[in-house]
Amino acid sequence: MNLARCSNAKQGPTAAYDAYKHFLRKDTTALFLAAALEHFGLEDLSDRPPNFIPADIESGCQADQRTWLHDKTEELIDKYVMLLGIFGKADDQPTAQFQCREPECDKAYISPEARQRHEEKKHNLVLSSPPSPSTTTALKPDSIKEHSEARLGFSFVLLNMMDAVKEGDGERLMRLYQVALLFYKAYGHSQYAYSTLLLTLQLNATLSPRMAHSLKWNRFWNGRGLGPNLNETSADRISKSIGILKEMMDNTDRELEVTKPSGVHHTSGEEEDIATLVAIFKERQLFHDQPGREYQSFPSFGKDLLGRLQYANLYLWMQTKIKKLLSDQTALTVLATYSK
């Protein structure tokens, strides 16, 4: 954090949110660039080997250049950014690939142990299973590389949330909350997990379409506004003056030669900090596979941040909570009906 000139971020996101957010953006950008250098075999940020960009692409139209860039970025994201356990894992159930060895039996099992128990119990068939491959000679994975990839992937989730809030994108934010629920549940934050589940249930089941739409989108809208001063006359006056005020401000900016930044742009100082971090990450070869490496503070760190999450238990927990919430909602509805 000192190298990135974000020393205040050491206090953590709770005590210094803005400083931590600033550091997160620098660190994530630098990690992504370091991964790109490794993926494309580049020495540094200024390296541009001959024919790195194909001649037909470099001289082609903007649409072809954009497609080429998106394809290369997709390669990079699939390899280094996509977090395990979020996409596809809940659907990728193990298949029953061990067929019963009794000729007239069509049963199949996920593990050889389950198959063997079935054969002994149902067919009185005792056959030895093939020995499991030895793992004594297996190389220990590169925990530093996996830590870096996990850090990069999770940082993009956080940046995605920040961007969704900034853009007022309620739909995207609700999707990201569902991802957050997995992390809450995996790391023992049951109250946060329950609150997120309740929000999801409200949006999709218990609230009316109008109220669900309001909950999803109106969190980005300032409903207070002018308060009691808001009426038809003041609203008409303000709407007519906005265009004039904007024109005056634009004219003043032109006269003073003031340019407005569009979106998020890195200042020169920030670019220097990011370049410094990239050089350090490149030197330490964070994304170059070297089996056996690990951090002393994070030994045997794996990329799958949701590896500890038991999806069967998560399903049962969600089913139990949903049934209770719906039963409570029904009870409240009945009570409200009889109280009228």
Claim to verify: residue 268 and residue 199 sit in the same structural domain:
yes
- What is the distance, to the nearest Å, from the Cα of residue 161 to the centroid of all Cα atoms in its chain? 8
Residue 332 resides in a domain: no
pLDDT in tens, the chain (340 residues): 777 777 777 888 888 888 888 889 999 999 999 999 999 998 988 888 888 888 898 888 999 999 999 999 999 999 888 876 665 544 445 555 688 888 888 888 777 878 888 888 888 877 765 555 444 446 788 899 999 999 999 999 999 999 999 888 999 999 999 999 999 999 999 999 999 999 998 898 888 899 999 888 887 776 666 566 667 787 778 777 888 888 888 888 777 776 665 555 555 578 888 999 999 999 999 999 999 899 888 888 888 888 888 888 899 999 998 888 877 766 556 545 544 4
Claim to verify: residue 115 and residue 153 sit in the same structural domain:
no
Residue 181 resides in a domain: yes
Claim to verify: residue 121 and residue 150 sit in the same structural domain:
no
Claim to verify: residue 205 and residue 281 sit in the same structural domain:
yes
- What is the distance, to the nearest Å, from the Cα of residue 48 to the centroid of all Cα atoms in its chain? 31
**Domains held by the chain: number:** 2
Residue 87 resides in a domain: no
Residue 66 resides in a domain: no
Q: Are 142 and 293 in contact (CB under 8 A)?
A: yes
Q: Are 99 and 174 in contact (CB under 8 A)?
A: no
SS (H, E, C) 21-70: HHHHHHHHHHHHHHHHHHHHCCCCCCCCCCCCCCHHHHCCCHHHHHHHHH
Long-range CB contact pairs, 137-140, < 8 A, 24+: 139/291, 139/292, 140/291, 140/292, 140/294, 140/300
Q: By three-state DSSP, how is residue 86 classified?
A: coil
Range of the domain at 203: 7-49+142-221+264-309
3-state helix, strand, coil in the chain (%, to 5): 60, 0, 35
How far apart CA 153 and CA 149 sit, in angstroms, is: 6
Determine whether 251 is exposed, middle or buried from the number of CB atoms within 10 Å of its CB (0-12, 13-18, 19+): exposed
